[in-house]
Amino acid sequence: MSHVPSSAAAPLQHRTVLLRQAVDWLVVDPQGVYVDGTFGRGGHARELLSRLGSGARVVALDRDPQAIEAGAQLARQEPRLQLRQAAFSRWGQVLDELGIDSVQGLLLDLGVSSPQLDDPTRGFSFRGDALLDMRMDTTRGFTAAQFLLEADVDEITRVLRDYGDERAAFAIAKAIVAGRERGRPITRTAELAALVAQAVRSREPGQDPATRTFQALRIHVNAELAELEAALAQVMRRLAVGGRLVVISFHSLEDRMVKQFMQGHARPPALTPQQRRLPLPPATFVAGLRLLARVRPDAAEARENPRSRSAVMRVAERLAPPHAGGEGA
């Protein structure tokens, strides 16, 4: 999500990554209906509203109750905005509740926000000491501390390796379980950061040794990849012809999922060598999306907001099915 890193000295100002670029690509009809799947602190939603006409609607979602509370005043003042507490995987259900069949644009700004990182009580950051929570929706689900209390070495290793690309995943997992068996379970962010610092023998330049572990646990606790998969699964049914899908990713796993989804609907699947030798009937694949752009922050934004350097924005447009407009269309 649009954010900058937290600081040990003081919280940094929230900055929306790729603000103008995302909205530039998203808006195709100033009177249309748009979904902002991750409201955060409203950066994209406010910019979007400033570009839209009086008949437009913006449906903004966020699973974090603090984000909904922060946006409550804007929602009261702006009749074009419907703000709902929901994960972006539920965007289709929210549309049903509002009586909306399709939209002209969907924006997903993935990851964790600076308010979540900067609030020590949320347990997202290793720069401080707090209960190891990490839930984006603090009203449901298991915390990171609960996961580490119940999972075995193999499961912890898998999470750290698959979601954090942590080379020392097994050593960290073994240390966590060993401490638990000695009656010293990991329950706080500082405890986990200290354990990882001891288990990780080599450090990447400029990166805290706990970075990958905290990232992996956050992704697991919030089921972030499953959420993204569920959100993308609704695109082809809900996005109107000519509508835009805009996704900002900060992690290679997320970006790979978005890339594969967009490319999968933009070109026919590859044939196996066996299929190529068969007398196949004419191809029946019809592209549903057109790939429009892959955007990275420019030098100025990367300099002013270091966290934006890892951001990748992908844009696709919904295509009309063949003969949608009748013969000769």
Instruction: Give the span between the Cα atoms of 313 and 281, in whole angstroms.
Output: 37
Domain spanning 19-114+225-318, CATH architecture: 3-Layer(aba) Sandwich (3.40)
Percent of the chain scoring above 70 in pLDDT: 90
Contacts of 277 (CB under 8 A, 6+ apart): none
Q: Which of 11-15, 116-120, 137-141 has the highest mean pLDDT?
A: 137-141
**Where do the domains of the chain lie?**
19-114+225-318, 138-221
Q: Is the pLDDT of residue 137 over 90?
A: yes
pLDDT in tens, 171-225: 999 999 999 999 999 999 999 999 999 998 777 777 889 999 999 999 999 999 9
Mean pLDDT of the chain: 89
| Adjacency order of strands within the sheet including 312-318 | 81-85, 57-62, 33-36, 103-109, 239-249, 312-318, 289-295
Return the axis-axis angle of helices 43-51 and 19-26, rounded to nearest 10°.
50
| CB contact burial 36-63 (16+ within 10 A = b; e otherwise) | bbbbbbbbbbbbbbeebeeebbbbbbbb
Q: Is the pLDDT of residue 86 over 90?
A: yes
Strand pairing report for 289-295 and 312-318: antiparallel
Instruction: Give the span between the Cα atoms of 274 and 11, in whole angstroms.
Output: 58
**pLDDT band (50, 70, 90) for residue 283:** low
Q: Is the pLDDT of residue 281 over 70?
A: no
Q: At residue 39, what are phi and psi to the nearest 5 degrees?
A: -60, -40
Superfamily of domain 138-221: Putative methyltransferase TM0872, insert domain (1.10.150.170)
pLDDT in tens, 289-305: 999 999 999 988 888 88
Q: What is the pLDDT of residue 280?
A: 59
Instruction: Give the span between the Cα atoms of 47 and 2, in whole angstroms.
Output: 14
Instruction: Give the span between the Cα atoms of 173 and 195, in whole angstroms.
Output: 10
Pick from 276, 191, 292: nearest CA to 244? 292
CB 44 within 8 A of CB 16: yes
Residue 13, beta-bridge partner list: none
CB 98 within 8 A of CB 59: yes
Q: What is the pLDDT of residue 11?
A: 40
Average pLDDT over residues 243-258: 96
**pLDDT band (50, 70, 90) for residue 275:** low
